[in-house]
Every structure is written in structure tokens, then in C-alpha cells.
Amino acid sequence: MKKILFAVIPLLVFFGLLLLLFINLSTHSEVLPSPLIGKPVPAFEHPTLYTGELKTQEDFLGQPWLLNVFGSWCPSCQVEHPLVTALANSKQIKVVGLNWKDEPQDAKAWLQRWGDPYHEILVDYEGDTAINLGVYGAPETFLIDANGVIVHKISGVLTPQNIQEQIIPKIKEMQP
């Protein structure tokens, strides 16, 4: 009995492993889900970059919008900037920038140099809202619906691919 056990155990272990690997092939995804999806945007009050006027989440109710976390210190933000610009210019959605942990004059210089496509820019100097949003690193982009509920999140740079495959379809879904 013991002998048979020793002979068969390696095979059984291996088949367990094979099953796991097989199941994983179909369930695996690279996407780190955000627990905030389906929840309202955390409450905030930030000044805008140019006028200093204070805005809260309630000022954005009524239409879907895209919140793009960026900073002048972030090289990847520069990489995705042309795409943010294209998206904003296409008028498909309101694009709001969240200027994260940045000196206002640096941010202004950066926007002057690379262009300012944002419909509105909020200054999160202390990084509070970024923490509430669970921002892992800039850039990150949140898609928020007309009721202020987070619909989708992209960690890392926007690419033509994730805009086409994720953002645009979600925007279309939200349109009545």
C-alpha cells in the first residue's frame, strides 16, 4: 500500500498543479481592480489652478467627466499628454486634471510648454484626494458618470488601445 502511494502521489500532485494552471489561464487578468468602482467620488474641495476658485465634487454633477491625475514632475504624464489632448478636443467628454503634489508655477510652465487641453484643473497640493482615490502613482485616470459615481479606472498611462477598448465604450454606454 505504502509503495503504491509513493508511486502515485507525484502524479496526483502534478495533476492538481496542471488543473490550477489550466483554470488560471482563463481567469487571469493583469487588471488590478479598484474597490472604488461603483462608489461615489470621495468628497473634495480644491482650488482651480488659474483662478483659485474652490470647487467640490458637487460642481461636476450633471454630466460624465474624466479625472486625469497628473504632475509636471511625472515623465509618463508627458507621454500620455497628446492622448489626453486628443480626447479633450474630441469633445466626447469633459476632461478635468487633478494636479497632484505639484508647485503651481511648475504646473503652469509645464502646461504652457505641452499645451493645456483640460476643461478644468484642480490643485491637490497636499495629495489628500489622491489618497482618497487610492492613487498608486501618476498618471491615473478615473471615468465618472453624471451622478458622480466612478465607472472605470486606468492605472498608468493612457494608450490608444485602452482609450479605444475601455474608455470610449464606457462613455458610449453612459450616453442616453
CB 89 within 8 A of CB 81: no
Among 42, 55, 57, 73, binds another protein (CB under 8 A): 73
Region of residue 52 (left: phi > 0; alpha: psi -120 to 50; beta: else): left
Based on the shown chain and the rule CB under 8 A, indicate whether residue 35 belongs to the binding site for another protein.
no
Site for another protein in 53-72 (CB under 8 A): none
User: What's the Cα-to-Cα distance from 59 to each of 45, 64, 77, 89, 100, rounded to whole Å?
Assistant: 10, 12, 25, 21, 19
Beta strands 150-155 and 140-144: pairing type? antiparallel
Selected from 37, 54, 86, 109, the binder of another protein by CB under 8 A is 109
* Choices 2-10, 41-49, 82-90, 91-99 (CB under 8 A): range interacting with another protein: 2-10
β-partners of residue 68 are: 97, 141
Pick the stretch among 5-13, 60-68, 88-96, 148-156 that binds another protein (CB under 8 A): 5-13
* 2 contacts another protein (rule: CB under 8 A): no
All 3 cell numbers of residue 163? 482609450
Identify which of residues 93 and 153 has a Cβ nearer to another protein in the complex: 153
C-alpha cell read off for 42: 470621495
Q: Which is nearer to another protein, 34 or 65 (CB)?
A: 34
Coil, strand or helix at 140 = strand
Backbone φ, ψ for residue 14 (5° rounding): -65, -40
Asked if 37 touches another protein (CB under 8 A), the answer is no
Which residues contact another protein by CB under 8 A?
3, 6-8, 10-11, 14-15, 17-18, 20-25, 27-28, 30, 32-33, 73-75, 79, 103, 106, 109
